[in-house]
Structure 1
Amino acid sequence: MTPDTLKIVDHPLVQHKLTIMREKETSTAVFRQLLREISQLLAYEITTDLPMTTKTIDTPLQPMEAPTLDGKKLALISILRAGNGLLDGVLELIPSARVGFVGLYRDEETLEPVQYYFKVPEGLSDRVTIAVDPMLATGNSSVAAIDLLKQAGATNIRFLCLLAAPEGVRRMAEAHPDVPVVTAALDERLNEKGYIVPGLGDAGDRMFGTK
């Protein structure tokens, strides 16, 4: 059963671009470009309920009360290193956002996350915070990143990923039921090495050409 916190974006453009990214013959340059494009489409979905207010502006014809975003600027948090690929695209859509980084790597023996860096904007308690990482696999790193963000004061957190596995979605829902997850696809399962199947391989390696 899929948790209520999960939203799968089945827009035709998202699914078409994801299919190209899955293909093993897709080049690093094309993969990187598609990740930037698809991240903007996913960001559109994850920001549909941002708080709004109005302000008085002058159009070329007359004054009007026009809608505008309310509250402090958003915080975008990249879970290094692969999160940077999603971050670039989201920043093009929300260029005024504040940016932070959580450095985690997965121990290949235990599959548990190990922290090596943490730097986030001030005032997270007053900001909508969007954490980005292409893959929600075991969920261990994602849960650890959200733990750190909550410790830093974040209360309104959303998680944006390209692909998710059922195991990772369940782990996130259990650990952080208040954090909605937006993704392009929910794949079948994890393999014995903790990779998403059918997936698209290691997103960081494919993005940076470090296969």
Structure 2
Amino acid sequence: MTQQHLTVVNHPLVQHKLTIMRNKQTSTAGFRRLLREISLLLAYEVTRELEMTETTIETPLCEMQAPTLEGKKLALISILRAGNGLMDGILELIPGARVGFIGLYRDPETLKPVQYYSKVPNALDARMTIVVDPMLATGNSSVAAIDLLKQQGAKNLRFLCLLAAPEGVQRMKEAHPDVPIVTASLDERLDDHGYIWPGLGDAGDRMFGTK
């Protein structure tokens, strides 16, 4: 399903793996492995519009003009800590990507993001920049991260998540309508604690085995 601002990747392998991840009986090791696998599949969609050029190569038979990526290597920005689970899988597909980190946590009372760390690649204005975080819930942390990246010069941005809530998608659309969202599922709603419902729990806790 694709809207102007949102792409839901309905590939059967994505949906099958996501169902296993939602199951509360899935182990920490299994959850971590599946998150890496599903991120590879989502990466194909989020990088669909990478700029291309042509270069001259020689095959075993002849010389030809062949397609190749153009411009600076893309930047992957992980919203700590759970974003690292998605980033690890994408780096298997795009090992030359530049990597940055933004540390944000959600205040449990206000549900507002609090920044505690930021380290991002240079020349963001010349790179496609993909922000990764498994959950797009209230959207507050995602909006704050993209605010920061735009201040650092990023212009060509994408947001990649495993699950999204309608409230988070709307918040992102209002704050950053120029930033497409790619996700494996648009879930039903947020609960009273700001968690995605039906969701899969806290992605960071399930990935790292913490509570």
% identical aligned pairs: 78
Moved over 4 A (4+): none
- For residues 106 and 208 of structure 1, what CA distance do their matches in structure 2 show? 18
- For residues 62 and 3 of structure 1, what CA distance do their matches in structure 2 show? 43
- For residues 100 and 48 of structure 1, what CA distance do their matches in structure 2 show? 21
The 8 Å contact of residues 75 and 124 in structure 1, kept in 2 or not, is answered as: yes
Gaps of 5+ in 1: none
> What amino acid is the match of 2:61?
L
Equivalent in the alignment of 1:189:
189
The 8 Å contact of residues 3 and 173 in structure 1, kept in 2 or not, is answered as: no
- For residues 82 and 3 of structure 1, what CA distance do their matches in structure 2 show? 26
The DSSP-based 3-state class of the residue aligned with 2:20 is helix
- For residues 130 and 82 of structure 1, what CA distance do their matches in structure 2 show? 15
CA positional deviation for 1:61:
1.4
Gaps of 5+ in 2: none
TM-score (norm 1): 0.98
Equivalent in the alignment of 2:128:
128
TM-score (norm 2): 0.98
Are 1:162 and 2:162 counterparts? yes
The DSSP-based 3-state class of the residue aligned with 1:108 is coil
- CA deviations 1:141-181 (Å, max 9, x no partner) are 00000000000000000000000000000000000000000
- For residues 75 and 192 of structure 2, what CA distance do their matches in structure 1 show? 35
CA positional deviation for 1:4:
2.1
> What amino acid is the match of 1:16?
H
Equivalent in the alignment of 2:32:
32
Equivalent in the alignment of 1:203:
203
CA positional deviation for 1:3:
5.8
- For residues 82 and 156 of structure 1, what CA distance do their matches in structure 2 show? 23
Instruction: Say what the alpha-carbon RMSD is for the aligned residues.
Output: 0.8
Are 1:17 and 2:13 counterparts? no
Are 1:96 and 2:96 counterparts? yes
- CA deviations 1:14-37 (Å, max 9, x no partner) are 000000000000000000000000
- For residues 93 and 174 of structure 2, what CA distance do their matches in structure 1 show? 31
- For residues 72 and 161 of structure 2, what CA distance do their matches in structure 1 show? 23
- For residues 110 and 103 of structure 1, what CA distance do their matches in structure 2 show? 18
